[in-house]
Amino acid sequence: MASRDPYAGTDVHRFHATRRRLKKITLVLLMIGLISLVIGAGLLLYGLLIARLSARGRMVIMAEIYLGIGGFALLARILLEAVRDRHFRHKRPGAGREGMALVLVLLVLALVSALVIEAQVSSRAALRREREALLRTRLELAAADAARLALQRLADDPDLAVDSTNEEWAASSEVMDPAGLTTWTWVEDENRFFDLNNLALPARPSWRPAAEIVMDLLTLCGDFEPVGKADALGDWLDDNAEGAWETGFYRELKPPYAAANRILLSWPELLLVRGFSRDLFARKPRYGLRGAFQADLVDQVTVIPAAREAPVPVNLNTAGEDVLRGVLGIQRDEMVRLILTRRARAPLRSVETALVMLDKDARAAVAPYLDVRSHFFRVDVRADAEGQAVRLRVIARRLKDGRIEVVQWCPGGETG
């Protein structure tokens, strides 16, 4: 027979029953509060560090809701505790310890959750880095393949004796593979421009001095005091220390450096030469038709990083009007126009026939700087996928028999 509670229905019984109920409620509130805070913090970390941008807003809102619930539950608990303390002061020994144990368990739980989230975050980050590195490798391989393909097109040129701008190798291409990787390839004929490194060659009496050509090109670009620049570039390139703009001059600069006394290997090196600044290569703003002496230097000259015994020539079929003017001489306007008219009909097949208007000496002076085929090419490639891009620049020389030699292979693309 079950014994009947002697206090049932009395005030004492009601007092204890209410106290116990309150205690249960505060415990439940504590648990709800702490768990909600842990979940909220976890969601916030996940949302800010791992989730994709599109999901981030939603995650943060959810985190805020959980943090709000947690905060509300803990606040309610504090209020209830206060009520309980005021009206039900009776304390059983050991009750505090029970509460402490629960708080400890919840704290450990929170700590474990934080560690799990941290591990998750760092492993996700490591995975992402690995994926990025893998994608980068794929892009680099694709860029190298595209460059090789462009060089192959150059080697496959059916007419190696003559080059003009509308040959197959000159076309830029854009290829997208089924995996979403896109490669763009541009081929530039470097013999369209006058190579500044030609100034490194010792002058020959029968040749027109390369410095004179550079001065004419600078004049065509609106620089009417080009002597200093041409002299400084000549001193920088020639392999002796005799001149006004040699190491002695650069040693006085801050920071000091020495003249190279060799050919330029990249565009940035040119900026070390006295008188050559980035501004010199900026394009001029255009208003209507271009007038005389308004050419842009960046369209007239180039830097071909290859050793040479003879000047790297300009291709009569691909060079711009002002480049031809610079090489032949500013005063030879009529001849430049004739060349342009003739090559518009068909590519020129010999330098000699293009120069028939000149006497023997004048022909001998400019002929070493001219050709009807191109020798050097710049291949620029950009490979792109999933918002990541890789660039590659290749400078190549094509020999008479079509063989290709790589002069520079620059991952990252910029040689200057």
Q: Which residues are at the interface with Ca ion (CB under 5 A)?
A: 157, 159, 163, 167, 235, 238, 261
Q: Give least dist CB 209 to Ca ion, A.
A: 16
Two tokens, residue 138: 């794929």
* Integer Cα distance of 50 and 57 in angstroms: 12
| Residue number, 44 or 230, with CB nearest to Ca ion | 230
Q: Give least dist CB 167 to Ca ion, A.
A: 5
Q: Give least dist CB 280 to Ca ion, A.
A: 21
DSSP track, 15-71: HHHHHHHHHHHHHHHHHHHHHHHHHHHHHHHHHHHTS-HHHHHHHHHHHHHHHHHHH
Show Cβ contacts of residue 334 under 8 Å, excluding neighbours closer than 6 positions. 357
| Residue number, 213 or 233, with CB nearest to Ca ion | 233
| Residue number, 30 or 199, with CB nearest to Ca ion | 199
Two tokens, residue 192: 């369209």
Q: Give least dist CB 402 to Ca ion, A.
A: 10
* Integer Cα distance of 20 and 267 in angstroms: 84
* Integer Cα distance of 346 and 395 in angstroms: 28
| Residue number, 195 or 235, with CB nearest to Ca ion | 235
Q: Give least dist CB 199 to Ca ion, A.
A: 10
User: For residue 166, which amino acid is it?
Assistant: N
* Integer Cα distance of 338 and 243 in angstroms: 39
Q: Which helix (H) or strand (E) holds 118?
A: helix 95-155
Two tokens, residue 229: 């620049």
Q: Which of 227, 245, 225 is nearest to 235 (CA)?
A: 245
* Integer Cα distance of 274 and 229 in angstroms: 7
| Residue number, 156 or 159, with CB nearest to Ca ion | 159
* Integer Cα distance of 239 and 50 in angstroms: 58
* Integer Cα distance of 324 and 340 in angstroms: 9
Show Cβ contacts of residue 280 under 8 Å, excluding neighbours closer than 6 positions. 223, 297
How big is the chain, counted in residues?
A: 416
Taking CB atoms, the residue at the shortest distance from Ca ion is: 163
Q: Give least dist CB 348 to Ca ion, A.
A: 12
Phi, psi of 410 (to 5 degrees): -115, 95
| Residue number, 169 or 207, with CB nearest to Ca ion | 169
Q: Give least dist CB 202 to Ca ion, A.
A: 12
Q: Give least dist CB 304 to Ca ion, A.
A: 19
Q: Are the C-beta atoms of residues 218 and 226 closer than 8 Å to each other?
A: yes
* Integer Cα distance of 103 and 83 in angstroms: 20
Q: Give least dist CB 291 to Ca ion, A.
A: 34
| Residue number, 322 or 371, with CB nearest to Ca ion | 371
| Residue number, 26 or 317, with CB nearest to Ca ion | 317
| Residue number, 202 or 387, with CB nearest to Ca ion | 202
Q: Give least dist CB 148 to Ca ion, A.
A: 19
| Residue number, 34 or 263, with CB nearest to Ca ion | 263
